[in-house]
């Protein structure tokens, strides 16, 4: 099949990508933030015809970000859509990447026509365009030639990435040499990087040399000669990195030789250690944000260092201070030669040196090294020549609950400590920071703000301090300028339960601005970049949880339920025992983020856990929307902290009626009609107000006690999708009333009244499948179509921020 034919058959952007991948015979590609990524070519793809210069603009944003992080960039850029493709050598655009006159968008997706107009005068003449209908063969040949040349713009070796480059060299080259003494890796590494492939650029340390036998590298150290067991890693490594380093860096790099020893990751594995591949990404972000030579320019303090994961990639440890709560961890770090030169000490950051008035007095413990105290003083006072301070931490994520226990995880194992809120710091900060004092990591941030008000903060943490409504008071007090960062799947961290984003965010604490929406890169569990995500700050935004005025309860006693037909068994903190004037149901809708959205259901009586509201004829239209909005969007590891917001656009009548129908036939509509529910030594009955059909429509022999929903829906105009659901639902309701169910099913689902609910209808028909199957296919198709129609409207009407594509 030709590329042209495959594109004609393509239905989605993914189909377009796959058509080009097949036509070009791409191997070793990756789909992520860059649509198709190989070592030699990066592709930006669109489903519909798009101006090539616009797509190249988006690619250049990604290229610029990768270059700033010290990552390899390809020799060619390609843009593709259904009708055309274009190719450009990356080197032609490199001068633009440092052009301060350009207004660079914050993300690739934000690169539109305005940015395209800025870059067009510089790169338009270097773009070769191909019309697939006429130039398919030429384009395919051009890309294959580019890949065959293996032209790659290699990453330079600098003081900022020395440790990362060395670790990768050991993994790809050193491990193939059969070296017995691990200390020899460093001298062999320098012999390799100080050679340009033909001659030595600088004599290697300790007499190590690199020679070539033909095209095969041979390493000489003293009387020992080392050859590679496999040359594949050698070729791949030097396809990524450029050698030798620039002249200005060579002597500095050689001086760092003694700090380079292979990293045994097992030595860094604590209860919740930061994986070293994610630490690599953090250092890429630090380099991109702080600029070249940051490891020499900044003093680094990690005050919850654990066993030193975050410092394992640092190349200038004489600028590094590492403290931790437990003396045992101090002993481990001091015994690790990877940290030679760093100042390591025991320090309880949330308790040591804090006075009864919440001030810092280093004389109280005498633990803080003199050099660090002086660096803090110099930075605070802005003394000439003072080095700025970078706080680099992965603090504990533990949270104090109401009973003074904790839950959560910690980088240094302290997440298991009880009484989080009882630290000396927390006791002095409660008035200013509110509930944030229940969070250990927020306490770290608060002391840093007090002690190091001009520092740069680079922190791994959950996103609660940024987006949680409960920490709004914290954000009113703590202000800083967001500099950049990424989020990564929590499963990248060993022993961390759950599926949620862990963020590495950088802040300039010297800039006193309120935290606003933040744009981040997205990394998957393997640490690969797969997208971008904007996290919406709820401060000042109206939350969905406050949209409906909640009716007050009255004194009428009702039966509390824990499921559609199951009465409560709890006695402690029991709720749902009182009703409300004119209520027709109770809607459980716990919390306001996607993480808790599954806790949404309708009941015909009170719910034993509370955390909801009474539904009346006045608020039913809103209740249906809240129900649908919370249930339509599936939580993922990336969106589960997103907050539901009140609509930002006017809602249409069709949207309202669609949501009502979607709610009525959802599996979490647990409204029911039943007699004989036993609770509190009494029998109770449930009246179902949520039947959308009359007795005649469904062939019931009896009378519904309530016809509320039929009257409520009278006069409504329903969309074709909603009508299809109602029609398919009516068929199932009629089938239910046409069956004489056996006693077991009748008793299990309490089928003892005509006004059974959708839950009872559906479950009874499913249970009856052992006797005679019911065809649900037509209903499922119609219901799925209604859901497909509604999902994008959740975002269009502003209930949630814009979604990200599928991320694993």
Please state, in angstroms and rounded to a whole number, the distance separating the CA atoms of residues 451 and 391.
Answer: 11
Where the chain has pLDDT below 70, the residues are 150-153, 203-207, 252, 255-259, 261-273, 398-421, 430-431, 434, 436, 495, 538-540, 802-808
Please state, in angstroms and rounded to a whole number, the distance separating the CA atoms of residues 166 and 350.
Answer: 36
- Give the pair of three-digit tokens for residue 173: 């080259």
The angle subtended at Cα 466 by Cα 460 and Cα 471, nearest 5°, is 115
User: What is the per-residue pLDDT for 266?
Assistant: 47
Beta strands in 388-472 (DSSP E): 389-393, 399-400, 406-407, 456-461
User: What is the per-residue pLDDT for 344?
Assistant: 96
DSSP state of 639: T
DSSP state of 3: H
Contact 609, 588 (CB under 8 A): yes
Please state, in angstroms and rounded to a whole number, the distance separating the CA atoms of residues 286 and 158.
Answer: 14
The DSSP bridge pattern shows strands 481-489 and 216-221 to be unpaired
CA distance to 262, 282, 380, 715, 719, per residue, from 168 (Å):
10, 16, 38, 69, 59
Q: What is the pTM (predicted TM-score) of this model? A: 0.74
- Give the pair of three-digit tokens for residue 656: 């309202």
Count of alpha carbons within 13 angstroms of residue 168, beta-carbon side: 19
**Phi, psi (degrees; rounded to nearest 5) at 179:** -70, 135
Residues 195-216: pLDDT tens digits? Answer: 887 787 776 555 688 888 888 8
Contact 146, 79 (CB under 8 A): no
User: What is the per-residue pLDDT for 584?
Assistant: 97
- For every residue of 651-698, DSSP letters joined together read PPHHHHHHHHHHHHTSTTB----EEEEEETTEEEEE------S-HHHH
Classify 795 as helix, strand or coil.
Answer: helix
Please state, in angstroms and rounded to a whole number, the distance separating the CA atoms of residues 381 and 545.
Answer: 46
* Owner of token pair 């280093």: 362
Q: Which long-range contacts does 365-373 make (Cβ < 8 Å, 24+ apart)?
A: 369/321, 369/343, 369/345, 371/321, 371/343, 372/299, 372/301, 372/321, 372/343
Contact 562, 607 (CB under 8 A): yes
Residues 365-390: pLDDT tens digits? Answer: 999 999 999 999 999 999 999 999 99
Please state, in angstroms and rounded to a whole number, the distance separating the CA atoms of residues 142 and 140.
Answer: 6
Q: Where in the chain is the domain with CATH 3.40.50.150?
A: 271-535
- Give the pair of three-digit tokens for residue 678: 């036993």
Please state, in angstroms and rounded to a whole number, the distance separating the CA atoms of residues 602 and 598.
Answer: 12
User: What is the per-residue pLDDT for 276?
Assistant: 83
User: What is the per-residue pLDDT for 791?
Assistant: 96
User: What is the per-residue pLDDT for 265?
Assistant: 52
Query: N- to C-terminal Cα distance for the chain?
Result: 31
User: What is the per-residue pLDDT for 70?
Assistant: 77
Please state, in angstroms and rounded to a whole number, the distance separating the CA atoms of residues 145 and 462.
Answer: 46
DSSP state of 645: B
576 sits in the region (left: phi over 0; alpha: psi -120 to 50; else beta) called: left
CATH superfamily placement of domain 271-535: Vaccinia Virus protein VP39 (3.40.50.150)
Burial pattern 51-62, b for ≥16 Cβ within 10 A else e, equals bbbbbbbbbbbb
Please state, in angstroms and rounded to a whole number, the distance separating the CA atoms of residues 200 and 202.
Answer: 5
The angle subtended at Cα 807 by Cα 802 and Cα 808, nearest 5°, is 155
- Give the pair of three-digit tokens for residue 651: 């809602």
Please state, in angstroms and rounded to a whole number, the distance separating the CA atoms of residues 472 and 464.
Answer: 10
Contact 103, 115 (CB under 8 A): yes
User: What is the per-residue pLDDT for 357?
Assistant: 85
Contact 603, 588 (CB under 8 A): yes
Cβ neighbours of residue 360 closer than 8 Å, sequence gap 6 or more? 353, 354, 447, 450, 451
User: What is the per-residue pLDDT for 415?
Assistant: 42
């Amino acid at each position: 099949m030709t590329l042209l034919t495959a594109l004609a058959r393509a239905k989605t952007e993914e189909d377009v990508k796959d058509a080009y991948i097949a036509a070009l015979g791409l191997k070793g590609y990756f789909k992520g933030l860059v649509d198709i990524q190989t070592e030699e070519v990066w592709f930006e793809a669109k489903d519909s015809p798009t101006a090539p210069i616009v797509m190249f603009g988006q690619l250049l944003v990604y290229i610029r970000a990768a270059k700033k992080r010290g990552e390899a960039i390809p020799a060619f850029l390609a843009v593709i859509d259904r009708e055309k493709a274009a190719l450009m050598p990356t080197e032609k655009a490199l001068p633009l990447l440092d052009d301060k006159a350009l207004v660079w968008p914050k993300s690739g997706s934000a690169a539109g026509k305005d940015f395209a107009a800025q870059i067009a005068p510089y790169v338009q003449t270097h773009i070769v365009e191909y019309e697939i209908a006429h130039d398919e063969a030429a384009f395919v040949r051009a890309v294959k030639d580019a890949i065959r040349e293996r032209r790659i713009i290699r990453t330079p070796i600098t003081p900022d990435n020395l440790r990362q480059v060395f670790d990768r060299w050991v993994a790809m080259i050193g491990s193939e040499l059969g070296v017995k003494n691990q200390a020899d890796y460093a001298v062999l590494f320098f012999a390799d990087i100080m050679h340009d492939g033909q001659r030595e650029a600088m004599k290697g340390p300790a007499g190590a040399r690199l020679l070539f036998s033909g095209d095969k590298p041979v390493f000489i150290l003293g009387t020992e000669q080392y050859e590679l067991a496999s040359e594949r890693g050698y070729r791949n490594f030097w396809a990524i990195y450029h050698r030798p380093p620039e002249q200005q860096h060579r002597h500095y790099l050689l001086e760092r030789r003694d700090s380079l020893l292979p990293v045994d990751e097992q030595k860094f594995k604590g209860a919740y250690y930061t994986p070293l591949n994610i630490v690599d990404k953090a250092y890429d972000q630090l380099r991109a944000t702080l600029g070249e030579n940051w490891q020499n320019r900044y003093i680094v303090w990690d005050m919850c260092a654990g066993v030193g994961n975050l410092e394992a990639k640092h190349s200038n440890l004489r600028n590094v201070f590492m403290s931790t709560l437990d003396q045992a961890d101090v002993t481990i770090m001091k015994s690790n030669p990877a940290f030679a030169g760093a100042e390591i000490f025991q320090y309880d950051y949330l308790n040591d040196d804090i006075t009864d008035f919440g001030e810092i007095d280093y004389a109280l413990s005498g633990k803080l090294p003199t050099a660090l105290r002086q660096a803090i003083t110099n930075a605070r006072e802005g003394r000439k020549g003072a080095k700025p301070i970078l706080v680099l931490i992965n603090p504990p994520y533990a949270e104090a609950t109401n009973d003074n226990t904790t839950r959560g995880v910690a980088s240094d194992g302290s997440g298991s400590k009880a009484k989080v809120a009882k630290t000396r710091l927390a006791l002095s900060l409660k008035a200013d920071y509110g509930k944030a004092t229940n969070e250990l990591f927020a306490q770290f941030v608060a002391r840093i703000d007090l002690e190091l008000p001009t520092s740069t903060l680079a922190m791994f943490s959950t996103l609660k301090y940024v987006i949680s409504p409960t920490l709004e008071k914290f954000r009113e007090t703590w202000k800083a300028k967001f500099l950049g960062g990424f989020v990564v799947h929590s499963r990248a961290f060993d022993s961390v339960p759950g599926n949620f984003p862990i963020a590495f965010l950088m802040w300039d604490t010297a800039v006193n601005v309120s935290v606003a929406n933040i744009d981040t890169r997205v990394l998957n569990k393997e640490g690969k970049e797969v997208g971008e995500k904007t996290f919406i700050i709820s401060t000042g935004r109206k939350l969905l949880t406050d949209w409906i005025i909640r009716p007050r309860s009255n004194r009428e006693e009702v039966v509390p339920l824990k499921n559609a037909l199951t009465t409560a068994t709890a006695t402690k903190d029991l709720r749902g025992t009182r009703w409300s004037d004119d209520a027709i149901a109770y809607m459980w809708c716990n919390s306001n983020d996607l993480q808790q959205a599954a806790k949404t259901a309708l009941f015909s009586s009170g719910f034993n856990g509370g955390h909801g509201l009474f539904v009346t004829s006045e608020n039913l239209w809103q209740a249906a929307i809240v129900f649908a909005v919370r249930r339509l969007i599936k939580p993922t590891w990336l969106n589960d902290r997103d907050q539901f917001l009140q609509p930002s656009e006017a809602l249409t009548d069709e949207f309202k009626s669609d949501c009502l129908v979607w709610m009525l036939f959802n599996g979490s509509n647990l409204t029911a009609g039943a007699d004989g529910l036993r609770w509190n030594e009494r029998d109770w009955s449930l009246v179902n107000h949520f039947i959308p059909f009359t007795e005649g429509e469904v062939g019931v022999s009896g009378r519904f006690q309530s016809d509320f929903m039929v009257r409520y829906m009278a006069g409504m105009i329903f969309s074709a999708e909603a009508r299809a659901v109602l029609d398919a639902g009516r068929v199932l309701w009629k089938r239910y009333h046409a069956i004489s169910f056996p006693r077991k099913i009748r008793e299990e689902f309490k089928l003892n009244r005509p006004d059974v609910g959708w839950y009872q209808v559906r479950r009874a028909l499913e249970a009856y499948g052992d006797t005679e199957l019911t065809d649900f296919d037509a209903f499922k198709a119609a219901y799925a179509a209604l859901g497909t129609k509604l999902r994008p409207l959740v975002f269009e009407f502003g209930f949630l921020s814009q979604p990200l594509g599928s991320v694993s």
